[in-house]
């Protein structure tokens, strides 16, 4: 759910930047930075609140990871966008928009497609990074089973038997 919220923030900022005329590389830097910051903050407040890693340390590691990840994803999106703008592919995108009756500029459609193609990889890598950076959560421990029920003096591992003697059938 957190990755989904971060992705929505990322996607909205990314598309706003592309509509404003910013290239795909720069638009993704802005969108991804906003989305990753959202995921980090919400993740620390919820999933990783019991993390064994100090917030200051985790923030530094996540900032370093984000710098690498955002630049890498932005480069990939730029490459996919250039491939989609090629003379062989762009007419197919235009035809698909017309066939689907979508009134959308081809450049916007290409930017959306490029983002959607790269998103699964970036979400997987970011989840892995968050898990490594914040450490695994402490597993919940089950309540200990007492050796004896203090109210009855009966041990919990004793089977009850039907009346009729010690060899009767278990209940």
Burial class, 54, CB count within 10 angstroms (exposed 0-12 / middle 13-18 / buried 19+): exposed
pLDDT at 29: 92
pLDDT digit string, tens, across residues 90-114:
899 888 888 899 888 888 899 999 9
Min mean pLDDT across 56-60, 72-76, 79-83, 101-105 is at 56-60
Residue that has been written with the tokens 């009767």 in this structure = 168
Other residues' Cβ atoms within 10 Å of the Cβ of residue 92: 11
Rounded to an integer, the average pLDDT of 29-36 is: 90
Which residues partner with 63 through β-bridges?
none
Please answer whether residues 63 and 33 qualify as being in contact, where contact means their C-beta atoms are separated by less than 8 angstroms.
Answer: no
Min mean pLDDT across 24-33, 56-65, 155-164 is at 155-164
Ranges of each domain in the chain: 2-133
d(CA 115, CA 20): 16
d(CA 147, CA 139): 24
Q: At a CB cut-off of 8 Å and minimum separation 6, what does 123 contact? A: 3, 7
pTM (2 decimals)?
0.64
d(CA 8, CA 70): 16
């Amino acid at each position: 759910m957190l990755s989904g919220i971060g992705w929505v923030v990322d996607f909205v900022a990314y598309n706003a930047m592309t509509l404003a005329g910013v290239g795909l590389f720069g638009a993704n830097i802005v969108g991804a930075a906003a989305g990753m910051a959202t995921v980090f903050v919400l993740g620390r407040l919820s999933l990783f609140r019991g993390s064994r890693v100090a917030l200051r340390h985790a923030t530094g590691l996540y900032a370093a990871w984000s710098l690498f990840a955002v630049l890498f994803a932005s480069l990939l999106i730029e490459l996919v966008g250039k491939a989609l703008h090629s003379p062989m592919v762009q007419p197919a995108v235009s035809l698909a928009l017309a066939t689907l009756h979508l009134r959308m500029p081809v450049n916007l459609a290409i930017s959306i497609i490029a983002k959607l193609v790269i998103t699964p990889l970036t979400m997987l890598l970011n989840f892995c990074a968050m898990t490594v950076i914040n450490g695994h959560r402490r597993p919940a421990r089950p309540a200990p089973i007492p050796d004896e029920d203090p109210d009855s003096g009966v041990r919990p591992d004793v089977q009850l038997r039907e009346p009729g003697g010690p060899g009767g059938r278990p209940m």
